[in-house]
Structure 1
Amino acid sequence: MKAWNSRKKALLLFCTAAVLLCAVAVAGIFLEGRAMQTDFSQKNLAPSLQYPFGTDWMGRDMLARTLTGLSLSIRIGVLTAAVSAVIALAIGIAAALLGPKVDAALSWCMDLVMGIPHILLVMLISLAFGRGFVGVVAGVALSHWPSLSRVIRGEVLQLRQAAYVRAAEKLGVPRRRVVRRHILPHLLPQFLTGLILQFPHAILHEASVTFLGFGLSPEQPAIGVILSESMRYLTTGKWWLALFPGLALVLVVLLFAGMGERLRRLLDPASAHQ
């Protein structure tokens, strides 16, 4: 009964986090127009009931801008994490199944990518793709696959030693069919958990490179842009310009991390007996 209650609690927390993140993403889309509206008669207002996050130097509602920026970050995080996870799945399976030479080459590529600091690699790829939305998506997606690839590679190597997989290979079942029927279903828990755990990394790196000026354009109400612009006004006492967007970004990252941990517990059979 205790284990069942623990799994129910994990499921409840997972669903709650998912609903909150979806609500933020949808709210940001609807508030995008308001986030761009300027009213110089209301500029530099401290947080109040009318403006819970205050206003900036152009009179723009910081709550609307923060939600819009978080929505953009969530959508970029979902897209880049999905692309990165698919790349990791393909490379991990290929490294484990296509022979020692392919394994050695792909493992070398994993080590090479992991040996370069993520921020630097994302910046370089973003510059190569012309910065902006395409550059950020390419930079984040092409730099976050090695760790998940290693996990999938190790899991496939273990699955190849399973009796049913070895029996299928000896019976002459095509390798593609073995992968589809006997390997991919067992990789699903690791893949889904790794996919969700990619989200916080993707969101943070997107905000970081945008903050440094190598990501999204300044015209977009992205969190990185908001934080970068607010740095010029902190010394004048406009603390709310950076505090609330920064805390909101941290909260979104923690929600994604919590979702990944709860999903891991739900999909791990061993956790049912804890």
Structure 2
Amino acid sequence: MEEVLHTPVQRSRGNRATTLVACIAAACALAIVVASGLVLYSQATVTDFTAKNLAPSLAHPFGTDWMGCDMLSRTLAGLSTSVLVGLLAATVSSVIALVLGCAAALGGKRVDAVISWLIDLMMGVPHIVLLVLISYAIGKGFWGVTIGVAVTHWPSLARVVRAEVLQCRESKFVEVARKLGQSPARIALHHMVPYVLPQFVVGLILLFPHAILHEAAITFLGFGLPPEQPAIGVILSESMSYLSTGAWWLAVFPGLALMATVLLFDVAGQGLRKLVDPHTAQK
């Protein structure tokens, strides 16, 4: 009887351990991708016209392009660029979401109404259209893409932060803290921050794949990173001209690598959500 009673607890611990291992493995894989891309960044632009348009082989696992560049090096360098853009843009976007979400929840009805209207406005405009406009207005390039992604991806997380802060503000433990005479700063530091932080971190991680995909999308359309810079969007855009000649590896391997990178971020984010969300932590 005792063994049966402890089975759900043991199962829960096993699930949490498996989720934790998956998160760590995904984070390590992403770190390897970024590090490999930075190491191979200079090699990604080396041309060899005697080895152009070679199919995948042991010497060139991803083949070579029309200038003889090694596609494995170009793909890893492009992924590292996309990940770095995504990290920077998602971090800035999450800070915007945190500030506006907290302001909406704690700033009164008028502030809440203005920020809620702004969130609805931003979510009503297609991301890709707004991204193209902002990136083009700033001058495209690295900073154009980064700023464009940063200022367009905060509304969903801001809405989550607002809801979490409102729920925390109305909770019993905050009410007791107020009655005990604790200052608003102490309540925010010791009660609201620990309450909101897990959901905020999960939201930040889940912003990364969106930022990476949108950076690749607008670069593919010609409104993002410049053609001379190794980037997945540039690689996929240039490969379209050579698919009809049978050079399928120019698009297939970079596309699969981009999908794998996005899935790694998704695995890390979903796993972290299971670990920190009290509603799913015991499942």
- TM-score band (shorter)? over 0.9
Aligned to 1:161: 170
How many residues are matched?
Answer: 274
Aligned-partner residue type, residue 2 of structure 1 = R
Q: Percent identity?
A: 59
Q: 1:129 to 1:176 in 2, by over 3 A?
A: farther
Aligned to 2:154: 145
Q: Tell me, yes or no, if the aligned pair for 2:23 and 2:271 is still in contact at 8 Å.
A: yes
- How far apart, CA to CA, are the structure 2 residues paired with 1:171 and 1:104? 31
- How far apart, CA to CA, are the structure 1 residues paired with 2:210 and 2:90? 9
Equivalent positions of 1:13-92 (< 5 A) are 13-92=22-101
Aligned-residue RMSD, C-alpha: 1.1
SS of the aligned residue for 1:199 comes to helix
Q: Give 1:198 deviation, angstroms.
A: 0.3
- How far apart, CA to CA, are the structure 2 residues paired with 1:273 and 1:60? 50
Equivalent of 2:279 in 256, 270, 273 = 270
SS of the aligned residue for 1:60 comes to coil
Aligned to 2:6: none
Aligned-partner residue type, residue 265 of structure 1 = K
SS of the aligned residue for 2:42 comes to helix
Q: Tell me, yes or no, if the aligned pair for 2:26 and 2:264 is still in contact at 8 Å.
A: yes
Equivalent of 2:137 in 116, 124, 128 = 128
Q: Give 1:125 deviation, angstroms.
A: 1.2
For structure 2, which runs of at least 5 residues remain unmatched after alignment?
1-9
Aligned to 1:191: 200
Q: Give 1:184 deviation, angstroms.
A: 1.1
Aligned to 2:5: none
TM-score normalised per structure 2: 0.94
Aligned-partner residue type, residue 36 of structure 2 = A
- How far apart, CA to CA, are the structure 2 residues paired with 1:52 and 1:119? 33
Aligned-partner residue type, residue 114 of structure 2 = A
- How far apart, CA to CA, are the structure 1 residues paired with 2:145 and 2:155? 18
- How far apart, CA to CA, are the structure 1 residues paired with 2:115 and 2:182? 25
Would you say 1:108 and 2:117 are equivalent positions?
Answer: yes
Aligned-partner residue type, residue 190 of structure 1 = Q
Q: Deviations along 1:213-251, whole A, 9 cap, x unmatched? A: 110111101000000000011111111000000000000
TM-score normalised per structure 1: 0.97
Q: Give 1:162 deviation, angstroms.
A: 1.2
| 178-187 or 253-262, larger mean C-alpha shift | 178-187
| 12-21 or 172-181, larger mean C-alpha shift | 172-181
- How far apart, CA to CA, are the structure 1 residues paired with 2:163 and 2:264? 28
Equivalent of 2:104 in 91, 95, 101 = 95
